[in-house]
Structure 1
Amino acid sequence: MMDFFRRRKNKYISLVLLLCLIILLLAGCWDRTEVNDLAIILATGVDISKNKEIELSVQVFIPKPAEGGQQGGVSSGSTSSQTLVRSAEGVTIADAMSRLQEKLTRRIFWGQNEVLIIGEKLAKKGIGDQIDFWMGHTDPRERADVFVSMDSAKEVLESMPELERDAAKQLSKLVDSQIGVKVTVKDLSEMLTGDSSAAVIPWVAKMSPSNLEVNEGKNIPFIKGSAVLKGDKMVGRLSDKESRGILWPRNEMKSGIITISLKDEKGFVSLNLLRSHNQLIPKISNGNWSIMVKTDTDLEVIQNTTNLNLLNLKSSKKVKRMVVQEIEERERLTLSKARKKMNADIFGFAGAFHRDYPGTWKRKKNEWSEIFRKVDVTFDTKVNIRRTGLSNEKAKKGGGE
């Protein structure tokens, strides 16, 4: 009996010792990193320096306690109290990153990086190495939005928006509005390694703020069209209107307003996009390559300053025809520039042919640059006006059809 209790006691002691050992192993806070020990990166810029090296610039967030009358420590004045910009040069982006760490007393943390800006000079030289590094490195975010800047990327990071906290937040919100092109690092990598080997990236310029007395000498970043890349090099640029012409064929048109005018009618009709679905329908017949851009879109009338009563079927058809003409005009304008001036398949035609004609594509893919210029492109656009709104007073009084 004594042996039984002795064995029970020994097991109890062993169990307690085992639990104590497990507790020691579970103590995982010994190597924690405090926020105040990190340099939190909000945005990154990559340029070619005067020494022909890679210049890496980062916008670092400065955590600050809330002050009286402020929310969350965000100053009501200049954003300079919330961020700072630091730069370093290196022969590669990895070399520049290590040199940048030497200039900062806190460990660089890339987890909050939302934006990657590439200077135009570097974009024209080629960005393949930079994108490969970004995709292969474990710390920077693949979902960061990519931009090409007219000026140096560093200058864009140093700019000061009037409403947003910093340049990173300004640019992120602009592309999230879904009015223009939105491209992440992952998207860019896929486009450059895809069948077309071409990409479109939002192009950033700067403008002077409206309140010069408060922000004298500072600029506000804004998106002004798109940069076009073929291979990994920038080969041209598209205006705002031309950039919107890309969105329809790529099935990326999510929101926007189309304003049209009609012949023999004073005033305008503005329509809001509700939904859009687009298809690329390729065809190869007797050695001839053709593709149809098929669009099916729903809109609503949000303003009508003409005399037309859009509840009338004849008037509604007039508006639909003009909307179709406006959409296809934008697409043709962009297609013409992409083919004649840049020879860059930014519409993704190559992927459509590869999908539907894999055998032919395998034999002809090396000739795509020449074939792209000759592809017969047609458009089939269907417009549905789901809501016409109230007819205007002029139409009610018999001023229009």
Structure 2
Amino acid sequence: MKRTGISLLAAALILLLITGCWDRQEMNELGIVLAMAIDKGKNNMLEVSCQIVVPSEVASNSGKSTTTPVTLYQASAPTILEAINKMTLTSPRNSYMSHIRVLIFSEAVARMGIADELETFLRHPEIRPDYYVMIARHSRASDILNVLTPLETIPANNLFLSLQNSAKTWAPTITTVTDDLLEKMISDGVEPVLTGVQIVGDKQNGGNKDNLTTIKPVANLTYTGMAVLKKDRLLGWMNEQESKGYNYITNNIKSTTGNLPCPDHKGKLSIKVLRSQTDVTSKIVDGNPVIHIKVNNMSSIMGDACTVPISSQDDLRIIEKEGSEKIEMFMKESVKTVQKRFKSDIFGFGLNISRNNPKQWAQLRDHWDEEFPRLKVEYEVHVQLRGVGMLDDSILQDIKE
């Protein structure tokens, strides 16, 4: 009996410790944020824009809606969290941040530095660090969130999926999440990069529903070039070719397509990269660091517009040589531009040296900014062709005969 009483007393004490769902939030009280843009406001304020889902529009299947599937709320404040809370002045719902897919900085904010803003997102208990970070080009970041997209009802999903697919199939883009970005910002011997996004077309009318009712939208969103950063500050931009070279050097090529001249230099071949593996090593020669980049690339011919059929191993060797030279050119242009214009080690050459030659890195670390621009880089590229697509000979030969 005594034991039973003690058990009941213990159970009662445990019940007192159970407080229930003290922090519950009702869905009909939340505004689900899927994208956020940060611009430079007046008086050194941050202008924060949140793309929030309109629940009634997403749930509707009638197809006769006259309103947009998302809405944009904005507020200016010295910090991001203040701006988000300030949005309740106009929004009937609290902003719910757990489902953010993209975070966009304007060029003006990125040039001032984005570390404080990223740390805010990292510390926020609701936000998962799996969203993509990017920089808006030639427009305010909020303008990007104001464009409606036809294939994806939610523009934030369009931005997320488009970058995800582009990074897999088209070499000049890269996906970057907050964890990776901050790691490069605080690490020695490597600097971060971000993909740029811009509006193509009429950005003034991109937010109208008319943008969804025509075969060719008046405004589209497109990814273009990579931003070079020094720690958390934007320095400038690489073009498409230099961005592709960066991805080859950093082993970020999953698949891509390109073209090469025919063996007789009459016509073009479409080439698809099947696999690409890059190994970067460092060594010390006469007291100076040297970087060696080796690329093993396997590709296939997917389109043949040559006047003479490709029928011999010699032809394939010529094409492989052209492919190797082209990839080497991409990498050289990327390294040359970054060393001369930006002087920011986005390739992680310093990090490679620190791992392979820690004693030498200890001597280079404090003046790596001066050493990196004159760093010697060697290249070795091997392209191997596997197959010529589905056809042995081009059908163009039969058409021309």
Cα distance change on mapping 1:392 and 1:357 into 2, 3 Å: same
Matching residue's letter, 1:203: G
Indicate the residue corresponding to 2:198 in structure 1.
205
Indicate the residue corresponding to 1:37 in structure 2.
29
Q: How far off is 1:87 after superposition?
A: 1.0
The superposition leaves residues 259-289 of structure 1 with CA deviations (integer Å, 9 ceiling, x where unpaired) of 1114633221112111111111111122122
Where do 4+ consecutive residues of structure 1 move more than 4 Å? 13-31, 74-80, 209-213, 393-397
Cα distance change on mapping 1:77 and 1:148 into 2, 3 Å: farther
Give the TM-score normalised by the residue count of structure 1: 0.86
Q: Please say if residues 191 and 197 of structure 1, whose CA atoms lie closer than 8 Å, have aligned partners that are also in contact.
A: yes
Give the TM-score normalised by the residue count of structure 2: 0.86
**2-side partners of 1:80 and 1:268: how far apart?**
48
Indicate the residue corresponding to 1:223 in structure 2.
223
Q: Please say if residues 113 and 233 of structure 2, whose CA atoms lie closer than 8 Å, have aligned partners that are also in contact.
A: yes
**1-side partners of 2:305 and 2:103: how far apart?**
43
Cα distance change on mapping 1:79 and 1:278 into 2, 3 Å: farther
Select the residue among 143, 146, 156 that pairs with 1:168.
156
1:291 to 2:291 alignment: yes
**2-side partners of 1:20 and 1:375: how far apart?**
71
Q: How far off is 1:26 after superposition?
A: 7.7
The superposition leaves residues 341-398 of structure 1 with CA deviations (integer Å, 9 ceiling, x where unpaired) of 111111111111111011211221111111111111111111121222322247988x
Indicate the residue corresponding to 2:97 in structure 1.
110
Indicate the residue corresponding to 2:43 in structure 1.
51
Indicate the residue corresponding to 2:179 in structure 1.
186
Matches within 5 A, 1:1-400: 28=20, 32-64=24-56, 72-73=59-60, 76=63, 81-150=68-137, 151-177=139-165, 178=167, 179=170, 180-208=173-201, 214-215=210-211, 219-262=219-262, 264-389=264-389, 390-393=391-394
Which runs of no fewer than 5 residues in structure 1 stay unpaired?
Answer: 1-6, 67-71
**2-side partners of 1:77 and 1:372: how far apart?**
59
**2-side partners of 1:343 and 1:285: how far apart?**
22
Matching residue's letter, 2:393: N
Cα distance change on mapping 1:311 and 1:14 into 2, 3 Å: farther
Q: Please say if residues 42 and 60 of structure 1, whose CA atoms lie closer than 8 Å, have aligned partners that are also in contact.
A: yes
| DSSP 3-state at the match of 1:198 | coil
Q: How many residues were matched structurally?
A: 385
**2-side partners of 1:168 and 1:323: how far apart?**
37
Name the stretch that deviates more: 74-83 or 281-290: 74-83
**2-side partners of 1:80 and 1:197: how far apart?**
46
Q: How far off is 1:30 after superposition?
A: 7.6
| DSSP 3-state at the match of 2:297 | strand
**2-side partners of 1:74 and 1:20: how far apart?**
50
Tell me which structure has the larger Cα radius of gyration: 1
Matching residue's letter, 1:100: M
Q: How far off is 1:24 after superposition?
A: 10
Cα distance change on mapping 1:203 and 1:100 into 2, 3 Å: same
Q: How far off is 1:94 after superposition?
A: 2.9
Matching residue's letter, 2:47: E
**2-side partners of 1:95 and 1:185: how far apart?**
21
**2-side partners of 1:229 and 1:395: how far apart?**
47
| DSSP 3-state at the match of 2:44 | coil
The superposition leaves residues 203-255 of structure 1 with CA deviations (integer Å, 9 ceiling, x where unpaired) of 11101279999329963221111111112211111122221111011111111
Q: Please say if residues 309 and 395 of structure 1, whose CA atoms lie closer than 8 Å, have aligned partners that are also in contact.
A: no
**2-side partners of 1:155 and 1:395: how far apart?**
46
**2-side partners of 1:270 and 1:111: how far apart?**
43
Q: Please say if residues 305 and 396 of structure 2, whose CA atoms lie closer than 8 Å, have aligned partners that are also in contact.
A: no
Q: Please say if residues 310 and 393 of structure 2, whose CA atoms lie closer than 8 Å, have aligned partners that are also in contact.
A: no
Matching residue's letter, 2:142: K
Matching residue's letter, 2:175: K
**2-side partners of 1:25 and 1:82: how far apart?**
43
The superposition leaves residues 60-101 of structure 1 with CA deviations (integer Å, 9 ceiling, x where unpaired) of 1111167xxxxx536758895211111111112232233234
Matching residue's letter, 1:354: S
Matching residue's letter, 1:186: D
**2-side partners of 1:273 and 1:357: how far apart?**
33
Q: Please say if residues 279 and 295 of structure 1, whose CA atoms lie closer than 8 Å, have aligned partners that are also in contact.
A: yes
